[in-house]
Amino acid sequence: MSSEPPPAASSATGAEELSADLSAATLSKKQQKKDARKAEKAEKAAQRQQQQQQPVDAEDPFAANYGDVPVEEIQSKVISGRSWTQIGDLDDSAAGRSVLIRGAAQAFRPVSKKMAFVVLRQRMSTVQCVLVASADAGVSTQMVRFATALSKESIVDVEGVVSLPKEPLKATTQQVEIQVRKIYCINRAIPTLPINLEDAARSEADFEKAELAGEKLVRVGQDTRLNYRAIDLRTPSNQAVFRIQCQVENKFREFLLSKDFVGIHTPKLISGSSEGGAAVFKLLYNGQPACLAQSPQLYKQMAICGGFERVFEVGPVFRAENSNTHRHLCEFVGLDAEMEIKEHYFEVCDIIDGLFVSIFKHLTENCKKELETINRQYPFEPLKYLDKTLKLTYEEGIQMLKEAGTEIEPMGDLNTEAEKKLGRLVREKYVNSTALLCFTNLYFDNNFLCYL
């Protein structure tokens, strides 16, 4: 892994943890460790200083404009006050401006001794950095060599001037280049990483195109991805997926808070199974049998009974199921809501309807970049929905299925297949619409409605 994990940010519960940790540890042991680390660091620093005193190339007048930054230099030595630009923010409007960026070196394209390209990546964005040896720019051939000899995924600082390329850039997300003036390596990655980020970010279309051209591209298998998750997380599509997840939660919370819901956190370690009982994780709590909550159901209902009227929870749910379908997971993040009903369960339908539409809208309007990023690697059809959700009664739904040749018992539940089919029928009949299927009988339970 290329970047040394930065020191941990203290959490809001930090003060609590902190003192617990402190009181538990014996001071002298910690002190001994610290002293040992201090001595070790001092020795290393001395070695490094010696190395630095032997410049990379004594004849290079621009030696100060590039090089490896010793670890001591970046560990809270100075507050330079320099301003960092996010790679994703670089656009035409920045042309001519001098910027400072930090990113992972994703690709190197040496052109000649005097010229090279380095692609830096930050989050979902990449930018092309151009090195051209020139005394005016303070760039030497040694500096070009230094840049192209860096290992992939090394963390690199670049200072340079933003310029507009003559032709659109295909290999990077940002449509500007950086004319490099200074380049420093903050942390070198090991020369050969288990995953090449460019490989990990390719789409099926890329592979097909390469095959047609007689090229053979490397595929990164799922095992490799999972074994080196921290590297795989760096692909633009993974960056986008996590950001969209975060936005879904934000909008879920925002919408429900605006409807007077209270966010709660219910116990996960409980004394019995939440439901069924078969697929529950069991453990010992202080010698007594305990279970992991398969659902916050009971506690949500207690909250309603306790006078909260409307509550929601975002948190882990545990089910000891064999995770062998994409609908079964032993651990997942549940977005749960519970509300009292004043008169009619349509009140719940309205909340759910408004919730989904507001999430759809938010993603469509505010996560364009993330959706495009995922679409590049994993093409998908854009989400279609209507501002006003179609509502079907259960009978209408059953009738639509019947007309299409699927018989369901009049008051029976829909199985997965029928549910999917009904979704397709709704989409065909009502043109790109989503629908809420409402049961009209009074004997509903948890499964009383579904969003198609």
Least Cβ distance, residue 40 to its own copies (angstroms): 10
Three-class SS string for 363-385? Answer: HHHHCHHHHHHHHHHCCCCCCCC
Which positions from 105 to 124 touch its own copies by CB under 8 A, shown as an x/- string?
Answer: ----------------xxx-
Closest CA to 247 of 372, 351, 361, 124: 361
Residues 6+ apart with CB under 8 A from 271: 285, 288, 289, 290, 291
Q: Given the rule CB under 8 A, which of 15-23, 90-98, 168-176, 395-403 is the region that contacts its own copies?
A: 15-23
Amino acid at 411: M
Number of residues lying near its own copies (CB under 8 A) = 137
Residues 158-187 that bind its own copies (CB under 8 A): none
Among 67, 70, 138, 334, binds its own copies (CB under 8 A): 334
Least Cβ distance, residue 445 to its own copies (angstroms): 7
Residues 340-379 that bind its own copies (CB under 8 A): 340-346, 348, 351-352, 355-356, 359
In the complex with its own copies, which residue's Cβ is closer, 192 or 447?
447
Least Cβ distance, residue 355 to its own copies (angstroms): 7
In the complex with its own copies, which residue's Cβ is closer, 75 or 134?
75
Q: Counting contacts by CB under 8 A, is residue 322 touching its own copies? A: yes
Other beta carbons within 10 Å of 418: 18
Q: Counting contacts by CB under 8 A, is residue 401 touching its own copies? A: no
Other beta carbons within 10 Å of 355: 20
In the complex with its own copies, which residue's Cβ is closer, 207 or 448?
448
Give the dihedral sign, CA 103/104/106/109: positive
- Token pair in block for residue 83: 């301003």
Residues 293-312 that bind its own copies (CB under 8 A): 297, 300-309
Phi, psi torsion values for 37, nearest 5 degrees:
-65, -40
Closest CA to 233 of 315, 337, 141, 153: 153
Least Cβ distance, residue 404 to its own copies (angstroms): 18
Q: Compute the distance between CA of residue 161 and CA of residue 321 in angstroms, rounded to an integer.
A: 55
Q: Compute the distance between CA of residue 193 and CA of residue 105 in angstroms, rounded to an integer.
A: 13
Residues 268-287 that bind its own copies (CB under 8 A): 268-269, 281-286
Q: Counting contacts by CB under 8 A, is residue 16 touching its own copies? A: yes
Distances (CA, A) of 412 to 129, 258, 346, 399, 415: 63, 35, 20, 13, 9
Q: Given the rule CB under 8 A, which of 108-116, 203-211, 223-231, 396-404 is the region that contacts its own copies?
A: 223-231
Among 149, 205, 218, 246, binds its own copies (CB under 8 A): 246
Residues 6+ apart with CB under 8 A from 67: 56, 146, 184, 185
Q: Counting contacts by CB under 8 A, is residue 77 touching its own copies? A: yes
Q: Counting contacts by CB under 8 A, is residue 127 touching its own copies? A: no
Q: Counting contacts by CB under 8 A, is residue 327 touching its own copies? A: yes
Least Cβ distance, residue 142 to its own copies (angstroms): 26
Least Cβ distance, residue 204 to its own copies (angstroms): 23
Phi, psi torsion values for 155, nearest 5 degrees:
-90, 125
Amino acid at 334: G
Residues 251-270 that bind its own copies (CB under 8 A): 252-253, 257, 262-265, 267-269
Given the structure tokens 């030696």, which residue do they identify?
A: 63
Among 332, 402, 424, 432, binds its own copies (CB under 8 A): 332
Q: Counting contacts by CB under 8 A, is residue 232 touching its own copies? A: yes
In the complex with its own copies, which residue's Cβ is closer, 116 or 231?
231
Q: Counting contacts by CB under 8 A, is residue 37 touching its own copies? A: yes
In the complex with its own copies, which residue's Cβ is closer, 223 or 445?
445
Q: Compute the distance between CA of residue 116 and CA of residue 128 in angstroms, rounded to an integer.
A: 10
